[in-house]
């Protein structure tokens, strides 16, 4: 466990988050339950934005809301004066619902429809990140019709393929996202510069997610600035903005690097130092820098509480604990073989004596939350916690097997409140005709 002031073991030998006992939370709200440490989120936001201000002086952190999107988190993000990036009308409407300033909203997506773009432009989103050639015509037509000039970025693929624990540079990137840096990107930039309804402010890239190697970000930064210099030489354009996306890694289990505020500040420092040096070297105008972390703001802030259900011991093979959740509220093992730390929230310091696989309740063998976790002998009915579930769990939840998406609770300074109600069976059936 990556312990901190707001995630620790209390005197009762229970897991405590944000000053609140997890066993108390499980009893009060029921399980499964998503719980978020609000102070952690606020601290990471502050650390990111302050470091960017101090180290570079010109830019904004824009929270990638796909990692966790609901009104409450966007209120917090707004209160920290961060921007937000959205990838759908649903995320955009959530931001607008908490009166997020539209100019601080960035709209992404590789297949935004005409209607999506129309809604975004009508609602005055600050930047649209274009990721398709024909999207430019749609934005131009809508902007001309409404009588506005829409600010844009174009998403490029710098050919830096970043994986957890290593990075490689690819000569022929085959991603569905972005225009390859080079002639493909130059053509779309030229087209954008010709259209009257839009103003091209710069380029965007995002090299991947759950990345620990600073080097990957440094290479991407250098490639982008080299490309800015090339565009400047060839087309005489000085871009105002550079958006380098998100992707900073978080601690899930003991195979990951333990992250803390200074590790995240370090990411920003490495990027801004590379950026400043490169700008100096190629002599281009200093662009406004946007970074779009999602996972690292909310991931370690969140935990999920479960009640242990049926326990199945298959002699000499496997011990299963079935929990009252599963892939419907955390599909990350099923999708990415993701690894998590699991703790016995009611007896944190008891020695681990058994190895368990934590299985969900869905009718599918792949419905696993974590494999080979060491725990004390678990009894039915006791509370378990899976850590670092704050990113891409709630946001990827589904109703598979007609299970209900759990509630979201926020904790801070010993107080808890409901941020999102758990779904009810009425919610589930209300659209069925
Ligand atoms: N910006 C763009 C354009 C992105 O595509 C993403 C993530 C981010 C920012 C935020 O990246 P982060 O800081 O969260 O790594 N469902 C997967 C993660 C998909 C990430 C997609 N894009 C998971 O559960 O691991």
Given this model, what pLDDT does residue 416 score? 98
Q: Which residue's alpha carbon is at the smallest distance from atom 21 of ligand 1?
A: 209
Mean of pLDDT values over 97-109: 98
Q: What is the C-alpha separation between 174 and 306, in angstroms, rounded?
A: 40
pTM comes to 0.96
Is pLDDT above 90 for 166? no
What is the tens place of the pLDDT at every residue in 418-431? Answer: 999 999 999 999 99
**309-316 LR contacts (CB < 8 Å, sep 24+):** 309/361, 309/380, 310/380, 311/378, 311/379, 311/380
pLDDT tens digits along 224-262:
999 999 999 999 999 999 999 999 999 999 999 999 999
Q: What atom in ligand 1 is closest to the CA of residue 296?
A: 13
Q: What local confidence, expressed as pLDDT, does residue 65 receive?
A: 98
Q: What are phi and psi for residue 310, nearest 5 degrees?
A: -65, 140
What is the DSSP secondary structure assignment for residue 396, as one 8-state letter? G
Three-state secondary structure string covering 303-325 = EEEEEEEEEEEECCCEEEEEECC
The continuous run of DSSP H or E covering 77 comes out as helix 71-79
Summarised one tens digit per residue, pLDDT across range 268-283 is 999 999 999 999 999 9
Q: How far apart are CA 238 and CA 169, in angstroms?
A: 26
> Is 165's pLDDT higher than 90?
no
pLDDT digits (tens, 9 = 90+) for 122-146: 999 999 999 999 999 999 999 999 9
Q: Point out the least confidently predicted range of 62-71, 205-214, 235-244, 341-350.
A: 205-214
DSSP letter assigned to residue 250: -
Q: Would you state the pLDDT for residue 162?
A: 73
Measured in Å, residue 395 CA sits from the centre of ligand 1 at 11
Q: Please, how many CA atoms are within 13 Å of residue 305, restricted to the half-sphere of its CB?
A: 28
How do strand 15-17 and strand 7-9 relate by DSSP bridges?
antiparallel
Q: What is the maximum span of the chain, computed from C-alpha positions, in angstroms? A: 71
Task: Give the burial string for 199-232 (b: 16+ CB within 10 Å, else e).
Answer: ebbbbbbbbbbbbbebebbbbbbbbbbbbbbbbb
Mean pLDDT over all residues of the chain?
95
Which tokens in the block code for residue 104?
Answer: 């601080």
List pLDDT tens digits, range 29-56.
Answer: 999 999 999 999 999 999 999 999 999 9
Q: Output the CA 291–ligand 1 centroid distance in Å.
A: 12
Alpha-carbon span 299 to 68, nearest angstrom: 9
Tell me what the mean pLDDT of segment 112-116 comes to: 98
Residue in 69, 205, 362, 363 annotated catalytic:
363
Residue 169 has a pLDDT of 44
CB atoms within 10 A of CB 309: 15
Is the pLDDT at 173 greater than 80? The verdict is: no
Q: Among 45, 77, 220, 295, say which to mutate for ligand 1: greatest number of ligand atoms within 8 Å of CB.
A: 295
Q: pLDDT digit string (tens) for 372-393?
A: 999 999 999 999 999 999 999 9
Strand partners, 279: none
Q: How confident is the model at residue 73 (pLDDT cuts 50, 70, 90)?
A: very high
CB atoms within 10 A of CB 250: 26
Report how far ligand 1's centroid is from the alpha carbon of 391 (Å).
Answer: 9
Fold observed for domain 7-30+302-429: Lyase, Ornithine Decarboxylase; Chain A, domain 1 (2.40.37)
Share of the chain above pLDDT 90, in %: 95
The answer to whether 65 and 294 have CB atoms below 8 angstroms apart is yes
pLDDT digits (tens, 9 = 90+) for 281-315: 999 999 999 999 999 999 999 999 999 999 999 99
Which of 208, 210, 292 is the best mutation target for the ligand 1 pocket, counting ligand atoms within 8 Å of the beta carbon and taking the most?
A: 292
> Cα(132)–Cα(177) distance, rounded to whole angstroms?
9
Clarify whether 69 is annotated catalytic.
Answer: no
In this predicted structure, what is the pLDDT of residue 163?
63
As for ligand 1, residues whose beta carbon falls within 6 Å of it are 64, 67, 85, 108, 206, 209-210, 245-248, 292-296, 332, 336, 391-392
Report percent pLDDT > 70 for the chain: 97
Per residue in 352-383, is it b (16+ CB within 10 Å) or e — as a string? eeeebbbbbbbeeeebbbbbebebbebeeebb
What residue ranges of the chain are covered by domains with CATH 3.20.20.10? 38-298
d(CA 84, CA 104): 6
Element (H, E) at 223: helix 214-235
How do residues 328-376 score in pLDDT, each as one tens digit?
999 999 999 999 999 999 999 999 999 999 999 999 999 999 999 999 9
Q: Which CATH class is domain 38-298?
A: alpha beta
Distance 397 CA to ligand 1 centre (A): 16
CB 320 within 8 A of CB 354: no
DSSP state of 406: P
Structure tokens at 109: 């997506």
């Amino acid at each position: 466990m990556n312990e901190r002031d707001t995630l620790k073991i209390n005197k009762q030998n229970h897991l405590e988050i944000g000053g609140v006992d997890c066993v108390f939370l499980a009893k009060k709200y029921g399980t499964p339950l998503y719980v978020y440490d609000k102070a952690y989120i606020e601290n990471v936001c502050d650390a990111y934005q302050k470091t960017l201000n101090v180290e570079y002086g010109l830019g904004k952190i824009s929270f990638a809301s796909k990692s966790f999107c609901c009104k409450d988190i966007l209120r917090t993000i707004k209160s920290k004066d961060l921007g937000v990036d959205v990838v759908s009308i649903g995320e955009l409407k959530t931001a607008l619902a908490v009166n997020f300033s539209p100019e601080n909203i960035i709209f992404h997506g590789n297949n935004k429809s005409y209607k999506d773009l129309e809604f975004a432009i009508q609602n005055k989103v600050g930047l649209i990140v274009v990721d398709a050639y024909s999207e430019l015509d749609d934005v131009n037509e809508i902007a001309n019709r409404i009588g506005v000039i829409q600010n844009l970025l174009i998403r490029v693929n710098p050919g830096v393929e970043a994986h957890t624990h290593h990075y490689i540079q690819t000569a022929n990137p085959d991603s569905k996202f972005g225009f390859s840096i080079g002639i493909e990107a130059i053509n779309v930039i030229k087209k954008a510069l010709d259209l009257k309804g839009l103003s091209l402010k710069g380029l965007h890239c995002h090299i991947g997610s759950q990345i620990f190697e600073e080097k990957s970000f440094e290479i991407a930064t250098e490639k982008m600035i080299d490309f800015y210099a090339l565009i400047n030489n060839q087309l005489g354009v000085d871009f105002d903005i550079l958006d380098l996306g998100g992707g900073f890694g978080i601690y899930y289990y003991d195979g990951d690097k333990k992250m803390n505020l200074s590790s995240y500040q370090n990411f920003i420092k490495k990027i801004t130092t590379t950026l400043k040096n490169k700008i100096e070297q190629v002599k281009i105008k200093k662009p406004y820098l946007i970074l779009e972390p999602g996972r690292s703001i909310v991931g370690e802030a969140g935990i999920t509480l479960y009640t242990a259900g049926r326990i199945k011991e298959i002699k000499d093979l496997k011990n299963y604990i079935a929990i009252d959740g599963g892939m419907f509220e955390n599909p990350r093992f099923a999708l990415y073989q993701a690894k998590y730390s699991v703790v016995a929230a009611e007896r944190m310091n008891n020695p681990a004596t058994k190895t368990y696989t934590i299985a969900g309740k869905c009718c599918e063998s792949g419905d696993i939350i974590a494999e080979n976790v060491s725990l004390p002998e678990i009894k039915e009915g006791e509370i378990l916690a899976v850590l670092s579930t704050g990113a891409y769990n709630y946001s990827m939840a589904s109703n598979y097997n007609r299970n209900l998406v759990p509630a979201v609770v926020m904790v801070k300074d010993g107080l808890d409140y409901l941020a999102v109600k758990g779904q009810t069976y009425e919610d589930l059936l209300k659209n069925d005709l």
